[in-house]
Amino acid sequence: MALRHGRGAGLRRAASRRAGFVALGAALYLAAGAAATWPAIQHARTHFLSGGAPSHGEASPGDHLQTLYHYWLVGHQLEHGHAPWRDPYSFRPEAKAQPNFSGWPYGILFWPLGAVFGLVGGWNVLQLLFYALAGLAACAWLRELGLPRGPALAGGLAFAIAPYRVEQSVGHLLGPISILLPLSLWAFERARRGSRWWLTLATVALASIPLSGQVHLALGAIPFFLGYAFCRTPDRRLLLGAGAGAVAAIGAGLVVRQTVIERSTQSSGRSLDEIRFYSADFGDFVSRHVDHARSEQFVFLGWATPVVALAGLLLLIRSRRYALAVIFGVGTFVPIVLALGTRTPIYAALWHALPPFRFPRVPERLLPIASLCIAALFAFAVAQSRRTIVAALAVALLLVDLHVQVYGKSAPGDPAGALPSASGRLLELPVFDPGVHYGSVYLWYDTAAERQRPGGYSTTAPKPAKPLADHLQRLNCGDWSEDMAGELQRLGVGSIALHRGLYVRNPALPGTAWFAVRGLQAHGWNVQRTAGPVWLFERGGSGGSPRRVEPAHSLPVFCQGWFGNTGSGRYMSETHAPFWIYGSGTLTLDFAPSPLRPRITVDGRPGFDVRGRGWHLVTVDVPHLIDVADEKRKVGVKLLRVATSP
pLDDT surpassing 50 at residue 331: yes
Helix (H) or strand (E) holding 497: strand 493-499
**Treating both helix axes as pointing N-terminal to C-terminal, what angle do 2-36 and 149-160 enclose, rounded to 10 degrees?**
30
pLDDT on residue 327: 97
**SS3 label, residue 57:** coil
Binned at pLDDT 50, 70 and 90, residue 18 comes out as confident
pLDDT surpassing 90 at residue 395: yes
Rounded average pLDDT over 604-608 = 89
Instruction: Please provide the average confidence, as pLDDT, over all residues in the chain.
Output: 92
Q: Do 195 and 150 contact (CB within 8 A), yes or no?
A: no
CA distance 510 to 508: 7
**Treating both helix axes as pointing N-terminal to C-terminal, what angle do 322-339 and 304-318 enclose, rounded to 10 degrees?**
150
Rounded average pLDDT over 558-584 = 92
CA distance 589 to 581: 12
pLDDT on residue 2: 44
Residue 484 dihedral angles phi and psi, to the nearest 5°: -65, -30
The count of other CB atoms within 10 Å of the CB of residue 53 is 21
Rounded average pLDDT over 435-454 = 94
pLDDT surpassing 60 at residue 532: yes
Helices (H), 383-464: 388-401, 440-449
Q: How far is CA 604 from CA 53, 481, 582, 599, in A?
A: 38, 6, 16, 11
pLDDT on residue 1: 37
pLDDT surpassing 80 at residue 616: yes
Q: Do 497 and 451 contact (CB within 8 A), yes or no?
A: no
pLDDT in tens, 460-517: 999 999 999 999 999 999 999 888 999 999 999 999 999 999 999 888 888 899 999 9
Binned at pLDDT 50, 70 and 90, residue 637 comes out as very high
pLDDT in tens, 61-114: 999 999 999 999 999 999 999 999 999 999 999 999 999 999 999 999 999 999
CA distance 358 to 345: 15
pLDDT surpassing 70 at residue 544: no
Residue 645 dihedral angles phi and psi, to the nearest 5°: -130, 145
Specify which residues 176 forms β-bridges with: none
Rounded average pLDDT over 322-335 = 97
**Treating both helix axes as pointing N-terminal to C-terminal, what angle do 180-193 and 236-256 enclose, rounded to 10 degrees?**
160
Rounded average pLDDT over 164-168 = 96
Angle in degrees, CA 232, 218, 357, rounded to 5: 120
Cis bond upstream, residue 454 (ω within 30): no
What percentage of the chain has pLDDT greater than the value 70? 97
The count of other CB atoms within 10 Å of the CB of residue 86 is 15
pLDDT on residue 631: 84
pLDDT on residue 10: 63
Q: Report the C-alpha dihedral over residues 277, 131, 40, 450, rounded to 10 degrees.
A: 80
Q: Do 326 and 320 contact (CB within 8 A), yes or no?
A: no
Beta-carbon contacts of residue 144 (< 8 Å; ≥ 6 apart): 186, 189, 190, 193
The count of other CB atoms within 10 Å of the CB of residue 67 is 27
pLDDT surpassing 60 at residue 203: yes
CA distance 572 to 623: 12
Beta-carbon contacts of residue 86 (< 8 Å; ≥ 6 apart): 73, 77, 97, 98, 99, 100
CA distance 619 to 127: 48
pLDDT surpassing 50 at residue 556: yes
Closest CA to 212 of 204, 223, 220: 204
**SS3 label, residue 143:** helix
Closest CA to 541 of 513, 520, 518: 520
Beta-carbon contacts of residue 306 (< 8 Å; ≥ 6 apart): 374
CA distance 183 to 208: 11
Binned at pLDDT 50, 70 and 90, residue 137 comes out as very high
Beta-carbon contacts of residue 629 (< 8 Å; ≥ 6 apart): none
One-letter amino acid at 413 equals G
The domain spans of the chain are: 2-36+104-408, 425-539, 557-645
**Treating both helix axes as pointing N-terminal to C-terminal, what angle do 367-382 and 106-144 enclose, rounded to 10 degrees?**
40
pLDDT surpassing 80 at residue 357: yes
Q: Do 509 and 476 contact (CB within 8 A), yes or no?
A: yes
pLDDT surpassing 60 at residue 572: yes
pLDDT surpassing 90 at residue 175: yes
* Phi-psi sector, 505: left (phi>0), alpha (psi -120 to 50), beta: left
3-state SS, one letter per residue, for 173-239: CHHHHCCHHHHHHHHHHHHHHCCCCHHHHHHHHHHHHHHCCCHHHHHHHHHHHHHHHHHHCCCHHHH
pLDDT on residue 446: 94
Cα of first residue to Cα of last residue in the chain, in angstroms, is 112
Q: Give the residue with greater pLDDT, 269 vs 599.
A: 599
pLDDT on residue 541: 65
Instruction: Decide yes or no: CATH 1.10.20 for domain 557-645.
Output: no
One-letter amino acid at 396 equals A
Rounded average pLDDT over 347-365 = 89
pLDDT on residue 3: 41
Q: How far is CA 80 from CA 73, 75, 77, 88, 450, in A?
A: 11, 9, 5, 12, 12
Q: How far is CA 633 from CA 119, 343, 508, 509, in A?
A: 41, 21, 17, 18
3-state SS, one letter per residue, for 548-591: CCCCCCCCCEECCCECCCCCCCEEECCCEEEEEEEEEEEEEEEE
